[in-house]
Structure formats: C-alpha cells, structure tokens
Amino acid sequence: MTTLWDNNRDYHSVANTDEIKVHNMQLTLAVDFELQQLTGQVILQFKRLQTCDQLVLDGRDLNIDTISDIQGNAVDYAVEHIDTLQGDKIVINIGKVIDEVVIQYRTSPNSQGLQWLTPEQTLGKQSPYLFSQSQPVNARSWIPLQDTPKARITFTATVTVNNGLRAVMSAANSDVMPTDGVFQFEMEKPIPTHLLALAVGDLAYGAISDRCGIYTEPAMLASALAEFEDTEEMILAAESLLGPYPWGRYDMIVLPPSFPFGGMENPRLAFITPTLIAGDKSLVSTVAHELVHSWTGNLVSNATWRDLWLNEGFTTYFTNRLVEKIYGEEQAELEWVIEFGRLKEEMTSMPLAAQTLPANVQHQDANDAFNRFTYDKASMFVHELEVRLGRKAFDHFLFDYVQHFKFQAITTETFIEYAKQTLLVQYPEAISESELMTWVYGEGLPQWFVGPTSTSLDKVDLALQQLKLGDSAAKLNVAGWRVHHWQYFIKQLPLQLTQLQLTDLDSVFGFSGSQNAELACDWYSVAIRNNYEIVLPKVAAFLGHIGRAKFVKPLYNELLIAGYEQQALAIFQQARAGYHPSLQVQLDALMQQL
C-alpha cells in the first residue's frame, strides 16, 4: 500500500508554522561548564497567519521553568513527549492578543545539539569548550522554537561566559573580547533555525581579508590560516557566479576533531572540521562547499528534510565550479569523477526505492537524508542541466533561481513548478518534462546519463593494471600524483587483496601513517575488509581522535562486517565520550545490534 505524504508538511517538527510565524527571538543565555548547561530565556515574537489561540513549539530535553507574556503574566502551557526523533511538543495558550512570549528555561547535559568538551579533549588542554550542532533537528535541544527549515527568524543574543573564554555565534561577531564576559550578537537577516550556532572556547582570531577570518584554538590558528588562505578568492569567484555575497562577513571557526561534519554553513560563522587541514590545500573544497551554501541553502532553503537535495545538489555542483575557477580544470574534473565514484558505491548498498532525489525520511531520522546519494545524484542532475543548456544559459538560470527564492524555503514540487515555467519554456529542446521528472522522482540514475571521466586518471588506471598483473608497488610510477589520484587509486583497489599485497602497498606508500584523513579512512576500509590486522591499533587511534561522522560511521561498519565486533565495541566504549551527542545516538543504535 502506497503512503500518501503531504509534501508541504515537515514531518520532523510539531510546530504549527501554518498558523503562526515566529519571526524574531531575543535570546539571553549563561554558559555553565560545570553543570554543562545553558540557562536563560528566549523571547519569541510572532504573527498569526490564521486565527488560533495556541503557539506550538519544538523542544527536546529542555527544562521549562516559566512561560509568560511580555508583561510578565504567566500563561498556561503543557509539554508532551512525542518520541525520540521529534522530541517534545510545547503547547502555549496565547489567547487572542498575545504576540510575544517569554520562556525561562535550562538545557540538559544530554542535549543532542550541544557538545561539552573537557580541557583534555581540546588541543590546548587548558580550557573547556562548547559548540552546537543544530542541523537537522537539534536546535530544539538548546532553544524552544519552531525547529523546521520552513521557520526563518532574525535574532539578538546576549551570552554570558564567566571563565574568560570567547563566545561566537552565527551572527555578527566581534574580534574584541569584552572585559565582563558578556557577548552581544545580532542577526538581522532571517535564517532557518537549523543554522543557529554557538561556540565557546579559548579562541584566537586571524584575518584572511577585510570580510573573512578564522576563529580557532591558538595552537591551530597559523596552520588554519595557511590552509584556508584562498577563502577570499573563493568568495570573489562565487560572487561572479551567484551575485554579491549576501551576509556581510564570512568567518569560519575550526572546531575540535569531535565536530561530526566536514563543515556546517552557519551564516557568518561556518563551522569547519580540522580534518581538512592536510597541509597542501587538497581538501579545501569543503570550505568552498560551505561558502556556496551562503546562496544555495542559507538564502534559498529546503522546506523539509525530504527536500535536502535542493541545498546539497546545487551546492555540490557549484563547489566544483569554484574549484575549477581557483585550482584549475584538472582538479575540478578529478573531484567530479571521485564524486561520481562515491555515488555509484552508495547505490550498491542503498535500496532502489530510496534512490530518488527527494529523501524518503518523513518517518525516519532526519539524519538519514544526509548521505552521499542526496548530495551526489542531485549534483549529477545539476551538471547535466549545465551540459544541456550550455554554461552561459545555465548560469543565468541559476542566478535567477536564487534571486527569485531568496530568503524562502521551498519544496521539491516548488522547484519543479519553477523549472516548468522557466527551463522548459525557455529551453524546450534542451530538456523535456519527462526527463526532468525522471531525474527527480526516478530511481537510480537515468539510463541515458553518462558519468564524468578524466584523462588525468589514465596513469592511475595503468598503475592499477600493473598491480593486477603482479607488479610490486615499488614498480609503479606515481610521480606527480595529487591527493585525488591517490583517493581514486585506493578506492579502485581490488576488493580482495592478499596480506603480502597489503604489506607491499603500505610499506611503499605509507598509507597507514597518512596525515590526510580522507586517504587514511579509505585505506583503513581496504585494510579492515582484508583482515590486515596490523592497522587495527591505528584504526583505534583514528576513531579515538576524530569524530567526523563521514569517517567514523563507515569504519565502525567495516569492523563489524569483517568480524571485529569485540574490537569495535572496545574502541567505541573508549572513544564514545569524545563524539558529538548526535553521533553517539547513531552509534549507540549500531552497537546495540551486537
């Protein structure tokens, strides 16, 4: 029986956004590292879209102390637990005239949106650290609000820190430290609630340009500035394609290794993993990716997590365009081919029914939408649009698309209607409605799609063929190979390798000791799959140091599949405290299967 979904509904939120629009919040928080708690209040200002006398908010593990109107009069409210995915439903009786509520509350140490690090878990080893991760549905665990991408808000915030550390937010930040520990923030442009962000730690600041800089722990600042020194050039390149940068400043914060993502596009303060600091700028496309989200994601947003492809597909495509503009066609071509390889690999283990651009996560964990398929199939679709229309025409279409929907959240169906009125009318010979619908709703890739290739990989294919014919690693000509060649090489190694072959490759190329997290993770997957047990201590050290979900989840899966259940469990028990709470929840579920 086919389930009929309401494609305009966000199934991951209980907020009554169709009846009431919360448009501004005034946040006041005190940071308590000892209790691992934020304490304070939020004033929510809202407008009725329909006649109603209740404001319904999302929450999770929040301790609500009082709710009142702006004059201080208590209002009735109730908190109902929905489930582990959605959290709690906060129903506030607002009557007919109230248009602001004041909520006094405290967070829980178990908040999935906040990670509290001990000094020992930081680079400097001297001070504690706090950072948030609101996407996809964790803003509700540190602020009671309408926690859905459909809900855009402006905000002001006052954050008090009593131990001399610096606070920063996804808002206007100042590199001047206040003497009283009271930090003031303002975001005057409406942002989706999953882009609300806070970090507190021993943070130094370094400028890249007049509108771009980096916050991070002092010991990491020099290497971060060197690795990401091209960011202003990326901004200029993005502006040439998508129009003026719309958020004023573009600062970044390089977080501790437990940050669970490669990056997070929080406006004015992109969160970045330190695993991108490879020393050779080979992984900076993630910085470009978060920057491009300033237009496709932050300016034009997905209305529900089913529609995530609208964010990630266009952003992944335009990341490749920035790489081409700054680092050249060869690197952009290599990254596109590797992206296609990731997609094909993902498709082999993914149910065919799930291989549509809209993510079928309406009654699943919203985190399930964040897979390579959502990013890479959508990117292939956008690449094909460029090929069919021609680059000049496609750039014009995308510029108009962003301007048309800026500061709005849209669904897949909204995009399709827009494409019917623009693409299909202006370029009827380039793409048909049937082809458009096949890309969006069809399973897998369209039969006619031809994936990208690169002659730059011919030398890698030659080396792989030599290996198959029995040549030793030392006989391979790897002169001039980039990181992307090595990524392709490791990914294309035969599924089954002998211990002798693994030892030979490792001793010649030093894969097990790679300081590049991407290469190390790819190699560890090959090694685990083939029971090359000499790497297990290095895998344990890697999993104990890095909390990026892209690396952590696949490696635990590889260990379990290869029969190393007890080793995986032992590593996890040792490393769990250093993982972000949202990743802990996902890995707990994996380990409970043992």
List residues with catalytic annotation: 290, 375
Q: How far apart are CA 585 and CA 549, in angstroms?
A: 12
Nearest to 142 by CA among 103, 111, 185: 111
Q: How far apart are CA 436 and CA 335, in angstroms?
A: 25
Helix ranges restricted to H, 406-516: 412-421, 423-426, 433-441, 458-468, 483-491, 499-509
Nearest to 133 by CA among 256, 13, 41: 256
371, burial (CB in 10 Å: exposed 0-12, middle 13-18, buried 19+): middle
Q: How far apart are CA 169 and CA 184, in angstroms?
A: 9
Helix, strand, or coil here: 485?
A: helix
Q: How far apart are CA 440 and CA 115, in angstroms?
A: 36
Structure tokens at 219: 């010991």
The DSSP line for 510-544 is -GGG-S-HHHHHHHHHHHHHTT-GGGHHHHHHHHH
Q: How far apart are CA 512 and CA 525, in angstroms?
A: 11
Encoded amino acid at 199, one letter: A
Q: How far apart are CA 472 and CA 269, in angstroms?
A: 47
Structure tokens at 22: 């919360």
Q: How far apart are CA 214 and CA 199, in angstroms?
A: 13
Q: Quick count: other Cβ atoms within 10 Å of Cβ 530?
A: 19
Q: Are strands 250-254 and 269-272 parallel, antiparallel or unpaired?
A: parallel
Q: How far apart are CA 175 and CA 222, in angstroms?
A: 17
Taking the CA atoms of residue 295, residue 192, residue 302 and residue 85 in that order, the dihedral angle to the nearest 10 degrees is: 140
How many residues are there in the chain? 594
Encoded amino acid at 565, one letter: E
Nearest to 311 by CA among 324, 295, 332: 295
| Per-residue CA distances from 576 to 444, 517, 552, 570, 584 (Å) | 35, 19, 11, 10, 7
Q: How far apart are CA 70 and CA 44, in angstroms?
A: 10
Structure tokens at 186: 């303002």
421, burial (CB in 10 Å: exposed 0-12, middle 13-18, buried 19+): exposed
Q: Cis peptide leading into 136, omega within 30 of 0?
A: yes
